[in-house]
């Protein structure tokens, strides 16, 4: 049997070992204004959560109240608009912890789609995010009906 030819050190480096230089990042792509605005809002949401943790405060999210008393008809635009009332979702409130986690999960999924310059339907986002939480038997979303309001809250 013939002996295998030895590789030189430079061949090992260029083959992708730990010594190889990291892959260059893709150049930033200019996002459409609506995507840039949405991405900014998602980053702001994440920063508020992180700031709460750094300040050792209970993290909470302010979500627009989806109630009849919080909508109004805009005659000029001929549409129904949300008002300024909000509801709070708190991480350390046992009855709100799951919806808090789901809200951040949806925000993460939306950010990933924007970063990839892709879009999907509400149903597609549900299937993208639905999984069993590692080390548990807990599903992120039991049904599409559980997921839809969370997605709508972040609209």
What does the alpha-carbon distance between residue 26 and residue 29 come to, in Å, rounded to a whole number?
8
Question: Is residue 19 situated within a structural domain?
Answer: no
137-152 tens-digit pLDDT: 999 999 999 999 999 8
Residue 140 lies in a domain: yes
Number of domains within the chain: 1
Residue 77: CATH number of its domain: 1.10.10
In angstroms, the Cα distances linking 14 to 10, 11, 24, 79, 128 are 6, 5, 14, 59, 35
Told to judge if 127 belongs to the known catalytic residues of this protein, a careful annotator would answer yes
Cα–Cα distances (Å) from 67 to 4, 85, 128, in that order, read 73, 9, 28
Report yes or no on 11 lying in a domain.
Answer: no
For the chain, give the number of residues: 155
Arithmetic mean of pLDDT over the chain: 84
What pLDDT, on a 0 to 100 scale, did the predictor assign at position 66?
Answer: 87
Residue 78 lies in a domain: yes
Catalytic residue among 41, 115, 127, 142: 127
Answer whether residue 25 is part of any domain. no
Please give the pLDDT value at position 28.
67
**Is position 22 within any domain?**
no
On whether residue 88 sits in a domain, the answer given is: yes
72 vs 7: which has the higher pLDDT: 72
Residue numbers of the domain that contains 110: 30-153
């Amino acid at each position: 049997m013939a002996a295998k030819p030895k590789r030189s050190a430079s061949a090992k480096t260029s083959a992708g070992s730990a010594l190889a230089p990291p892959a260059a990042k893709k150049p930033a792509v200019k996002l459409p204004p609506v995507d840039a605005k949405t991405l900014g809002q998602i980053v702001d949401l994440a920063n508020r959560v992180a700031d709460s943790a750094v300040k050792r405060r209970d993290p909470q999210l302010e979500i627009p109240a989806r109630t009849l008393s919080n909508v109004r008809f805009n005659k000029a635009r001929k549409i129904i608009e949300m008002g300024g009332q909000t509801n709070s979702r708190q991480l350390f409130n046992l009855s709100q912890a799951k919806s808090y986690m789901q809200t951040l999960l949806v925000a993460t999924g939306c950010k990933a789609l924007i970063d990839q310059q892709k879009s999907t339907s509400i149903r597609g986002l549900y299937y993208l995010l639905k999984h069993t939480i590692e080390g548990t038997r807990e599903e992120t979303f039991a049904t599409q009906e559980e997921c839809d309001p969370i997605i709508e809250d972040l609209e």
